[in-house]
């Protein structure tokens, strides 16, 4: 077991059998309740029960479309029925949807009760579970209702990745690639050398990834300045995700953000913020590890509704986070609508239909 302790949250890496029971017992909780989706309750919760015993579990249907206020109410009703109080502990077992939703529900119930995360997707292990962002989607907008609330602990056990199809692994790798672009150094070097997702040493990758996210969150827990760099790829990416969600077509968070990083890296290059060598290195890594993309993209005009409602918008202006080079990113940058349109035109040449 390896520990990463930080004001941004204590994170344990290793097999859950190596100490999860002791960590839970250290909270001296009056009761313990799990939140999972219909996949993780079958694939992951049984191994937890072997370690911590049989525990009541609230089950939410899987999928981003269920990250809603209605699901939150379902959780609150179940917590109330189970007699959960302020001395209880909620354990969220699942991917980013469950950790976002379960963390939000726990952070509001009785004005806040303790919760921990056991992320079971690479996206959850790499990003969603770390940093204290909780929330739900609202009227098509991603994570529009939520809170900043640091979990009591996070336990990352790469064995759960064995339950994932390759496309879900790529979704999580998207956020790791983003962290590598932001940080440079050993994480970027490891990613840049990888030929594809097969054969990745996930233990090493995740142990390099966690401190990158923790350091940024610790420096800026409420996203006032440097934490905004984590939004690289997410302004256009979230707009794409919302567009496809409302249209009833499937575009995963990872694919949307990867496409967003391509478009936003292109903007950084075209505005001469970033040099061509770093731009090409970023494009090569994204296309090699995260592609191909078989999707018919909307126009910039079709995305405008979602971009104009971006929750990071301030004083009527969308602030983009764009890399200046690998290892350095700037935030709160203004981008003209014409440049967004041109980036979408360029992006359409990079994807397969």
pLDDT of residue 353: 47
CA 273 to the chain's CA centroid: 26
pLDDT of residue 352: 62
Domain shared by 291 and 332, yes or no:
yes
Residue 122: is its pLDDT beyond 60?
yes
pLDDT of residue 132: 95
Q: How confident is the model at residue 140 (pLDDT cuts 50, 70, 90)?
A: confident
Grouping H, G, I as helix, E, B as strand and the rest as coil, residue 262 is helix
Averaged pLDDT of the chain: 94
Residue 246: is its pLDDT beyond 80?
yes
Domain shared by 103 and 10, yes or no:
yes
Across residues 121-130, what is the average pLDDT?
96
| Any domain includes 251 | yes
Domain shared by 186 and 93, yes or no:
no
Across residues 7-21, what is the average pLDDT?
93
Distance in angstroms (rounded) separating the CA atoms of residues 34 and 41: 9
CA 308 to the chain's CA centroid: 22
Domain shared by 102 and 150, yes or no:
yes
CATH number at residue 20: 3.40.50.1970
Domain boundary (163, 196, 231) is at 163
Give the CA distances from residue 74 to residues 28, 109, 136, 146, 247, in Å, rounded to whole numbers and listed in that order.
26, 12, 13, 16, 26
Contacts of 157 by beta carbon, 8 Å cutoff, 6+ apart: 13, 14, 15, 16, 118
Domain shared by 126 and 241, yes or no:
no
Residue 247: is its pLDDT beyond 90?
no
| Any domain includes 353 | no
Give the CA distances from residue 284 to residues 122, 195, 242, 292, in Å, rounded to whole numbers and listed in that order.
21, 11, 26, 12
pLDDT of residue 278: 98
Domain boundary (163, 182, 200) is at 163
Structure tokens at 55: 């525990």
User: Which single residue is written with the structure tokens 């078989």?
Assistant: 294
CB 34 within 8 A of CB 48: yes
Domain shared by 74 and 121, yes or no:
yes
| Any domain includes 8 | yes
CATH number at residue 192: 1.20.1090.10
Domain shared by 210 and 122, yes or no:
no
Domain shared by 136 and 202, yes or no:
no
Contacts of 155 by beta carbon, 8 Å cutoff, 6+ apart: 11, 12, 16, 20, 23, 116, 117, 118
Cβ atoms < 10 Å from Cβ of 192:
17
| Any domain includes 94 | yes
Question: pTM score, two decimals?
Answer: 0.93
| Any domain includes 19 | yes
Domain boundary (163, 179, 205) is at 163
CB 110 within 8 A of CB 95: no
Q: Facing residues of 329 across strands?
A: 323
Give the CA distances from residue 194 to residues 159, 206, 213, 247, 249, in Å, rounded to whole numbers and listed in that order.
20, 14, 21, 35, 31
Contacts of 224 by beta carbon, 8 Å cutoff, 6+ apart: none
Give the CA distances from residue 83 to residues 32, 41, 76, 189, in Å, rounded to whole numbers and listed in that order.
11, 21, 11, 49
Whole domain around residue 186: which residue ranges? 166-348
Residue 180: is its pLDDT beyond 70?
yes
Domain shared by 210 and 325, yes or no:
yes
Contacts of 127 by beta carbon, 8 Å cutoff, 6+ apart: 96, 172, 175, 176, 178, 179, 213
Number of domains in the chain: 2
């Amino acid at each position: 077991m390896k520990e990463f302790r930080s004001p941004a949250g204590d994170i344990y890496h290793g097999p859950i059998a190596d100490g999860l029971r002791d960590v839970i017992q250290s909270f001296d909780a009056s009761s313990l309740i799990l939140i999972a989706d219909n996949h993780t309750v079958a694939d992951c919760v049984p191994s937890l029960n072997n370690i911590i015993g049989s525990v009541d579990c609230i089950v939410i249907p899987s999928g981003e479309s269920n990250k809603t206020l209605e699901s939150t109410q379902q959780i609150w009703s179940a917590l109330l029925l189970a007699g959960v109080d302020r001395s209880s502990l909620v354990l969220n077992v699942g991917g980013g949807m469950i950790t976002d939703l379960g963390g939000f529900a726990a952070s509001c119930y009785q004005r806040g009760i303790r919760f921990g995360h056991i992320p079971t997707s690479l996206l959850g292990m790499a990003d969603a579970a770390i940093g204290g962002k909780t929330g739900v989607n609202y009227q098509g907008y991603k994570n529009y209702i939520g809170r900043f609330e640091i979990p009591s602990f996070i336990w990352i056990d790469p064995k759960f990745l064995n339950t994932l199809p390759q496309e879900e692994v790529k979704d999580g790798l998207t956020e790791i690639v983003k962290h590598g672009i932001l940080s440079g150094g050993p994480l970027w070097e490891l990613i840049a050398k990888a030929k594809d997702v097969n054969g990745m040493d996930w233990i090493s990758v995740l142990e390099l990834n966690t401190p990158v996210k923790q350091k940024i969150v610790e420096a800026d827990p409420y996203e006032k300045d440097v934490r905004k760099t984590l939004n690289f790829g997410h302004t256009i990416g979230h707009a794409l995700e919302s567009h496809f969600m409302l249209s009833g077509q499937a575009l995963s968070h990872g694919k949307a953000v990867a496409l967003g990083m391509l478009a936003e890296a292109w903007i950084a290059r075209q505005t001469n913020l970033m040099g061509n060598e770093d731009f090409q290195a970023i494009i090569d890594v994204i296309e090699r590890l995260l592609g191909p993309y078989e999707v018919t993209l909307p126009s910039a005009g079709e995305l405008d509704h979602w971009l104009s409602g971006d929750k990071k918008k301030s004083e009527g202006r969308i602030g983009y986070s764009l890399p200046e080079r690998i290892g350095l990113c700037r935030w709160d940058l203004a981008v003209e609508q014409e440049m967004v349109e041109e980036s979408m035109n360029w992006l359409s040449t990079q994807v397969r239909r």
